[in-house]
Structure 1
Amino acid sequence: MRTVAPTISVVLPARDEGDRVGATVASALGAAAEPDGIEAVVVDDCSSADGRPRVAAGADRRRTRIIRSELHLGVGAARNLAARHAHGRLLFITDAHTRFSDGWDHEVRRLIAPSRILSVTVRDRASAWRGHGCRLVVPHMGTRWNTAPPATGTRAHVQIASSAGTVVQRALFERLGGYDEGMVHYGGFEPEFSVRAWRAGAEIVHTTTVEVTHRFKPEAECTAFLAAARTAMVHNCLRFGTAHLPESMILEMVRLHALEYPDHIREALVMLEQRSAWGRRAELARSLPHGFASFVRRFALLDQIGRPVPEV
């Protein structure tokens, strides 16, 4: 039987997701207009024995590769590893617990372009809520969901793509350098990648014609997860801001995190120094054609209390 080379690689980092991975792969292939053009590349990010990714035998398993990491890589490095193993021209980067809308692959091929990243609509599995990409919160360096789609008749640009639904040509992903592996475990990867993409001259366009339905963690599970990940998340926000913000805003960013997370700020600052955040800032200033000021101007960016963000 002739094997069709995939044109789209669905990238799935998975840590203790078990059967949810198989359900996501089945949805991606089952909802595709041309399933023979799809592959799934799963990174098992040091899951426990009971939580390792499980994909049903048959066509789903034949079109899935699982790469096992014995070290906990975190979201960014796991996605990068999956991308290095991908054969598709396009990467659809999502989570291990999503469902795909019918004909999603046809729409992705129709809408993608060499310097364009697609942000797809994310729907909550338990409600009718939808997210339409995200916007940046400065200088905290977090994000807020856009709960309404871009206005009809406008170029559907969004500041930040969703980590549950980002589509990019593999060549552009590689040119951008993938996700920042100086960040750790969880938090901030998609915002930093998105701002870096804008600074590199790419665009992020939102689409409502491709939708993934996402399993958001229940409140108790989310609270426990965030408590365990908090130091990493504070560090990642600080690294993100150090890499991109005007210098005049960096101290304010640190002050905000110190006030909000006094039990985590010291270790986060140590990690920031250990991981050469200022070196990363210098590297991006040398390699990217546009400064953060171009992002500020494009979106008339305001800080989190409504003041214009300085360009220097």
Structure 2
Amino acid sequence: MPARNEGDRVGATIASALDAAAGPAGVEFVVVDDCSESGKRPEVGDAAARRRTTVIRSARHLGVGAARNLAARHARGRILFVTDAHTRFSTGWDRTARKLTTPHRILSVTIRDPESDWRGYGCRLVVPHMGTHWNTGPPGPTPHVHVASSAGTVLERALFERIGGYDEGMVHYSGFEPEFSVRAWRTGAEIVHTTDIEIAHRFKPREEVTAFLGAARTSIVHNCLRFGTAHLPESMILEMVRLHALEFPEHIRGALALLEERGAWRRREELAATLPHDFAWFVRRFDLLDQIGRPVPEK
């Protein structure tokens, strides 16, 4: 659980998970305090919660990917449940996670907005923009999804390590779960959505979203570009850059500078050399089309 300036929301999340667990004695929490401001550091709650919780304080802002990886390294359990610091858990979530998790399977859990009747059932990838759209209906008989739910991704520790964790070449926020999910598919894992675990997630109010995006936009654009550079066929990379340059002209120069600084092309070469499946395999697996309905080229 990464937590930056989350304060007592962390304790409320832990209390919810413990209260809803079928076997709370078998649950541990690892919280990474991602350089929170004074007065907004994670507050765990009562003594029972504190006994089950490890809080790791980072003196620098790691971002979502590095914070999750750090938490995973400190966790002792066989199964990792990646979530956010402002969530609430459905009854028996831990029992269901144990039952449905297998060595080659990632669970994507249902995300609920507590302020409405909206639910998200994993996400689908949008190319070449390299964003996602929520699946707003439950999965069919074959419940595979492109991208797991970022507030509820469940998998065995051994699989997490085999995939390589989250990409720490990305910056701070956005894109971590989509990139991890595509890399997981290319590694040979499957992502299966379940409606048997439901996580209520606090979504930011509009004014918070506006302020957040204003401060993080260059990083977000970079992360999309890095994601696409790592996985897209070369013929689509220029189109991806063009789309972002048109939409975010004041941020594209900084994003491209970060792309070069953080070794995006080297990352692409590493994945091509080590993963058993290429992106074309992923395209065929899901009959993936681009964002305006055209076939995705294989090269």
**1:263 and 2:254 aligned:** no
Aligned to 1:98: 87
Q: Tell me the residue number matched to 2:220.
A: 233
Is the counterpart of residue 59 in structure 1 residue 45 in structure 2? no
Distance 1:95 1:155 in 2: 27
Deviating 4+ runs (over 4 angstroms)? none
In 2, Cα distance between equivalents of 1:140 and 1:56: 41
CA distance in 1, matches of 2:108, 2:45: 29
2:134 matched residue in structure 1:
145
- Kindly report which structure 2 residues correspond to 1:184-195, keeping only aligned pairs within 5 A, or say none: 184-195=171-182
> Mean Cα displacement is larger for which, 112-121 or 53-62?
53-62
CA–CA distance in structure 1, aligned partners of residues 106 and 260 of structure 2: 31
Question: Aligned residue for 1:210?
Answer: 197
Report the alpha carbon displacement of residue 57 of structure 1 after superposing the two structures with TM.
2.4
**Pairs within 5 Å for 1:78-227:** 78-151=67-140, 154-227=141-214
> Letter of the aligned partner of 2:59 in structure 1?
E
Q: How far 1:162 sits from its partner (Å)?
A: 1.0
What letter corresponds to residue 260 of structure 2 in structure 1?
E
Q: Describe the superposition over 1:162-212 as per-residue Cα deviations: whole angstroms up to 9, x where unpaired.
A: 110000101110111100000000000000000000000000000000000
What is aligned with 1:299? Answer: 286
**Per-residue deviation, residues 42-94 of structure 1 (Å, max 9, x unmatched):** 00000011110001122111101100000000000000000000001010001
SS in structure 2 of the partner of residue 205 of structure 1: strand
The corresponding residue for 1:254 is: 241
**Equivalents in 1 of 2:35, 2:161: separation in Å?**
24
Asked if 1:279 corresponds to 2:263, the answer is no
Q: Which runs of 5+ in 2 are unaligned?
A: none
Scaled by the length of structure 1, the TM-score of the pair is 0.95
SS at match of 2:133: strand
Which residue of structure 1 lines up, in the alignment, with residue 277 of structure 2?
A: 290
Which residue in 2 is equivalent to 1:8?
none
Aligned residue type for 2:103: P
| Number of residue equivalences | 299
Cα distance in 1 for residues equivalent to 2:206 and 2:214: 12
Structure-2 residue corresponding to 1:50: 39
Identity, in percent, stands at 75
Once residues 213 and 152 of structure 2 are traced to their aligned partners in structure 1, the CA distance between those partners, rounded to angstroms, is 21
Separation (CA, whole Å) in 2 of partners of 1:281 and 1:91: 27
Letter paired with 2:279: F
Q: Displacement, 1:225?
A: 0.5
- Find the counterpart in structure 2 of residue 71 from structure 1: 60
